[in-house]
Amino acid sequence: MEKKIAFVFPGQGAQYVGMGKDIYENFPEVHFLFEKAEEVLKFDLKKLCFEGPVEKLKFTSVAQPAILVVSLATLKALKMLAPDISPQAVAGLSLGEYSALTAAEALRFEEAVRLVHKRGEFMEEAARINPGGMVSLLGLDYATGELICKESGAEIANLNCPGQIVISGTKEALEKAISLAKERGSKKAIYLEVSGPFHSSLMSPASKKLLVELNRIEIKPPRIPVVSNVTAYFENDVREIQTNLVNQINHTTRWEESVRFMVDWGITTFLEIGPGKVLSGLIRRIDSSLEVYNIENTQDIKGFLERLSIT
């Protein structure tokens, strides 16, 4: 049976010092991506990605363009070694959706870099106005998570995989939600290292500002089907893409549903392209029968191609 492949791209939290360095050193063809990004951003992106400091790399307005650029540089390297491999669908978790849209040629690279930098700034500003955080609750089903949020004032931010619900809200709402979750059988509650209550209504100020920025750029119909975080369905219409990107900031991201939709559509193989292995782990927990590869350096690309020739 012919493999049906999806490329998926990581979101914020995947960043680490040293990311992209191997690809940069082994593929001169990706240098122009970093140079173009630095022209847009007006800071030394390479130094932050390759050397840190980690404290600065973690800033939302820095991490978001850094992850996008490294992801797209890794994609460029993959295409250099495997020009015949093309995906039947693309998707990304939160920020990763911008990488997916750029890979599908719906967004120009420079515009995507500028947008995610602005997006990060807007999210940081919204977090200062409406402070809060995010917590991952393990071992609960969706219905219980929804009830806990209703009672605590928290909101469901991410539906990542079976048994994992990420909630978002004020400090008080999260503390109450954790207490309720323990009463109802949650195995663990983990505070996430993020600077605000992302993917909740507390991010609405950022959502409004992002709409202004999106109205200034041209979005083209994607050349490859792109699955939206918000709808867990293909986004083809330009207006739809814009609306989904705006809503994505202050609504639940539906990663598990997005993966299941792609599988139902016939996808058998997922390539996580970019830093980290978060999506690979989530996809395996969603469906252990799937082929999942993590591609973040030269060795990963070569290993994938060797496996491909064997199968």
Catalytic residues: 94, 199
- CA-CA distance, 218 to 220, in Å (whole number)? 6
Q: Between β-strands 5-9 and 269-273, what pairing exists: parallel, antiparallel or unpaired? A: parallel
Q: Are 40 and 114 in contact (CB under 8 A)?
A: yes
- CA-CA distance, 255 to 160, in Å (whole number)? 5
Which residues contact residue 49 at a Cβ distance below 8 angstroms, ignoring those fewer than 6 apart? 17, 18, 19, 20, 21, 57, 66, 69, 70
